Amino acid sequence: MNPASAYKRIPGRSRPNFGLLYLFELLFTFSLVALGERCRLFAGTDHLLVLRRRLFTETAHRFYYADIQAITVRRTSSASLASLLLLLLSATSLAFMLIAPRFAPFSDVGVYLLAGLSAGFVLGLALNILLGPTCITELYTAVHHERLECLSRWRTAQRALAQLQPRILAEQGPFDPSGLEPFAPEGPVLAANHAPSGGPQQAAAPGNSYTGGLHFALFLLFLGIVVSSLIDLLGDWTLKNAFDSIYYSVMLIVACVAVAKQRHSALPNDVRALTVFSLVASVVLFEGVQALVMSRSFIPMMNTSTPPDIFKMLDVAQPLRLTTIYINIVLFSITGLLGLVGLVRFRRTLAAVRRMTLDQEWDGNDPAH
Amino acid sequence: MNSAPAMANAPARLLACPQCQGPLTPDMLAADAVQRCPTCATELRIAAFPAALRPCVKGGFGDLIVEDTESACFHHAGKRAKSACDGCGRFLCDLCDIRMQGRHYCSSCLEHAARFGSIPELESAYSRFDLLSLAVACLPLMLALPVFLALSFIALEVAVGAGLGMLLFPALFSAPIAMYLSIAYRKRSTGPWPRSKATSIVAFIIAACVLAILVAVISFPIYLTLTR
Ligand SMILES: [Zn+2]
Ligand SMILES: [Zn+2]
Ligand SMILES: [Zn+2]
Picking from A73-82, A283-292, B208-217, which range would have the lowest pLDDT averaged per residue? A283-292
C-beta neighbour count of B95 within 10 angstroms: 16
Q: How confident is the model at residue A220 (pLDDT cuts 50, 70, 90)?
A: very high
For A79-100, the pLDDT digits (tens) are 877 787 788 778 878 877 777 6
| 3-state SS class at B43 | strand
For A108-161, the pLDDT digits (tens) are 666 777 788 888 889 888 888 888 888 889 998 888 888 888 888 899 999 999
Contact B14 A181 (CB under 8 A): no
Picking from A9-13, A183-187, B35-39, which range would have the lowest pLDDT averaged per residue? A183-187
Mean per-residue pLDDT over chain B, rounded: 79
CA dist A164 and A72 (Å) reads 12
Contact A346 B139 (CB under 8 A): no
Q: Which fold has domain A3-74+136-172?
A: PH-domain like (2.30.29)
Ligand nearest to the CA of B95: 3
Q: How far is B46 from chain A (nearest CA, A)?
A: 4
Dihedral, CA atoms, B162, B163, B166, B169, nearest 10 degrees?
Answer: -110
Q: How confident is the model at residue A20 (pLDDT cuts 50, 70, 90)?
A: very low
| 3-state SS class at B106 | coil
Among candidates A53, A69, A161 on the partner chain, residue whose Cβ is nearest the Cβ of B51: A69
Strand partners, B112: none
Q: Within this chain, do residues B67 and B87 fall inside the same structural domain, yes or no?
A: yes
Identity of residue A367: P
Between chain A and chain B, the number of residue pairs with CB atoms below 8 A apart is 214
Contact A109 B15 (CB under 8 A): no
- Enumerate residues 6+ apart whose C-beta is below 8 A from B197: B130, B186
- Enumerate residues 6+ apart whose C-beta is below 8 A from A369: none
- Residues 59-98 in A contacting B (C-alpha not used; CB under 8 Å): 59-62, 66-75
How far away, in angstroms, is B93 Cα from ligand 3 center? Answer: 4
Q: Please check the confidence at residue B4 and state whether its pLDDT lies above 50.
A: no
Last residue of a domain, one of B125, B150, B170: B125
HSE at residue A356, side-chain half, CA atoms within 13 A, is 15
Per-residue pLDDT, averaged over B35-59, amounts to 80
- Ion ligand 3 — residues with CB < 5 Å: B 73, 75-76, 93, 95-96
Contact A142 B10 (CB under 8 A): yes
- Enumerate residues 6+ apart whose C-beta is below 8 A from B221: none
Chain A CB contacts of B142 under 8 Å are 27-28, 30-31
CA dist B225 and B228 (Å) reads 5
Q: Within this chain, do residues B70 and B153 fall inside the same structural domain, yes or no?
A: no
Contact B48 A175 (CB under 8 A): yes
Mean per-residue pLDDT over chain A, rounded: 74
CA dist A230 and A328 (Å) reads 9
CA dist B88 and A215 (Å) reads 66
pLDDT for position A35: 47
pLDDT for position B208: 92
Q: How confident is the model at residue A351 (pLDDT cuts 50, 70, 90)?
A: confident
pLDDT for position B9: 64
- Enumerate residues 6+ apart whose C-beta is below 8 A from A146: A50, A61, A63, A138, A139
DSSP type of residue B16: B
CA dist A142 and B188 (Å) reads 36
Q: How confident is the model at residue A260 (pLDDT cuts 50, 70, 90)?
A: confident
For B63-80, the pLDDT digits (tens) are 777 777 778 888 888 888
For B185-205, the pLDDT digits (tens) are 877 766 777 777 888 888 899
Residue ranges making up the domain that contains B109: 58-125
Closest CA to A262 of A211, A308, A219: A211
Per-residue pLDDT, averaged over A182-210, amounts to 46
Q: Spell B204-216 as b/e; 16+ CB within 10 A means b.
A: bebbeebbebbee
Contact B142 A31 (CB under 8 A): yes
Identity of residue A238: T
Question: Nearest 5°: CA angle at B53, between B51 and B57?
Answer: 70
Q: How far is A100 from chain B (nearest CA, A)?
A: 12
How far away, in angstroms, is B97 Cα from ligand 3 center? Answer: 7
Q: How confident is the model at residue A26 (pLDDT cuts 50, 70, 90)?
A: low
Q: Within this chain, do residues B106 and B121 fall inside the same structural domain, yes or no?
A: yes
Which tops the pLDDT comparison, B122 or A308?
B122
Q: Please check the confidence at residue A280 and state whether its pLDDT lies above 80.
A: yes
Q: Burial of A291 by CB count in 10 Å (0-12 exposed, 13-18 middle, 19+ buried)?
A: exposed
Q: Within this chain, do residues B223 and B133 fall inside the same structural domain, yes or no?
A: yes
% pLDDT > 70, chain A = 69
| 3-state SS class at B44 | strand
Among candidates A165, A176, A181 on the partner chain, residue whose Cβ is nearest the Cβ of B47: A165
Which tops the pLDDT comparison, A319 or B96?
B96
Longest CA–CA span in chain B (Å) reads: 103
Chain A CB contacts of B210 under 8 Å are none
Chain B contact present for A45, CB below 8 A: no
pLDDT for position A113: 75
Residue from B17, B20, B39, B99 whose CB has the most chain A CBs within 10 Å, to mutate: B39
Could you give the C-alpha distances from A158 to A110, A227, A260, in angstroms and in order? Answer: 44, 42, 35
Among candidates B8, B45, B152 on the partner chain, residue whose Cβ is nearest the Cβ of A73: B45
pLDDT for position A196: 36
Closest CA to B178 of B198, B212, B205, B197: B205
Per-residue pLDDT, averaged over B212-219, amounts to 85
Contact A165 B38 (CB under 8 A): no
Q: How far is A153 from chain B (nearest CA, A)?
A: 13
- For B39, phi then psi, to 5°, come to -90, -55
Closest CA to A166 of B32, B153, B228, B141: B32
Chain A CB contacts of B152 under 8 Å are 107, 109-110, 113
Question: Nearest 5°: CA angle at A151, between A145 and A155?
Answer: 135
Q: Spell A17-29 as b/e; 16+ CB within 10 A means b.
A: eeeebeeebbbbb
% pLDDT > 90, chain A = 5
| 3-state SS class at A271 | helix
HSE at residue A191, side-chain half, CA atoms within 13 A, is 15
Q: Does the pTM of the predicted model rise above 0.80? A: no
Picking from A300-314, B102-116, B194-208, which range would have the lowest pLDDT averaged per residue? A300-314
Which tops the pLDDT comparison, B207 or A235?
B207
Picking from A105-114, A297-306, B45-54, which range would have the lowest pLDDT averaged per residue? A297-306
Contact B25 A184 (CB under 8 A): yes
Q: Please check the confidence at residue A200 and state whether its pLDDT lies above 50.
A: no
Q: Burial of B77 by CB count in 10 Å (0-12 exposed, 13-18 middle, 19+ buried)?
A: exposed
Dihedral, CA atoms, A154, A160, A162, A163, nearest 10 degrees?
Answer: 170
- For B42, phi then psi, to 5°, come to -75, 140
State which residue of chain A sits closest to B33, comparing Cα positions: A158
C-beta neighbour count of A166 within 10 angstroms: 9
Measured in whole angstroms, the distance separating CA A97 from the mean position of its chain's CA atoms is: 27
Q: Where are the domains of chain A?
A: 3-74+136-172, 197-361
Picking from A221-225, A350-354, B58-62, which range would have the lowest pLDDT averaged per residue? B58-62
pLDDT for position A270: 77
Q: Within this chain, do residues B135 and B173 fall inside the same structural domain, yes or no?
A: yes
Measured in whole angstroms, the distance separating CA A34 from the mean position of its chain's CA atoms is: 22
> ipTM, 2 decimals?
0.72
- Residues 153-192 in B contacting A (C-alpha not used; CB under 8 Å): 153-156, 159, 190-192
Q: How confident is the model at residue A224 (pLDDT cuts 50, 70, 90)?
A: very high
Q: Please check the confidence at residue A266 and state whether its pLDDT lies above 90.
A: no
Compute the Cα dihedral for A351, A353, A356, A360 and give only its sign. negative
Q: What is the DSSP string of A229-248?
A: HHHHTT---HHHHHHHHHHH
Chain A CB contacts of B126 under 8 Å are 57-60
- Asked if residues B166 and B213 have their Cβ atoms less than 8 Å apart, the reply is no
DSSP type of residue B61: -
Chain B contact present for A239, CB below 8 A: no
Q: Determine if residue B32 is left, alpha or beta; phi over 0 gives left, psi from -120 to 50 gives alpha, anything else beta.
A: left
Please report the beta strands in A157-294, taking only residues with DSSP state E, as ranges in sequence order: none
Per DSSP, chain A holds a count of helices (H) and strands (E) of 9, 7
Q: Please check the confidence at residue B123 and state whether its pLDDT lies above 50.
A: yes
CA dist A52 and A45 (Å) reads 19
State which residue of chain B sits closest to A139, comparing Cα positions: B47
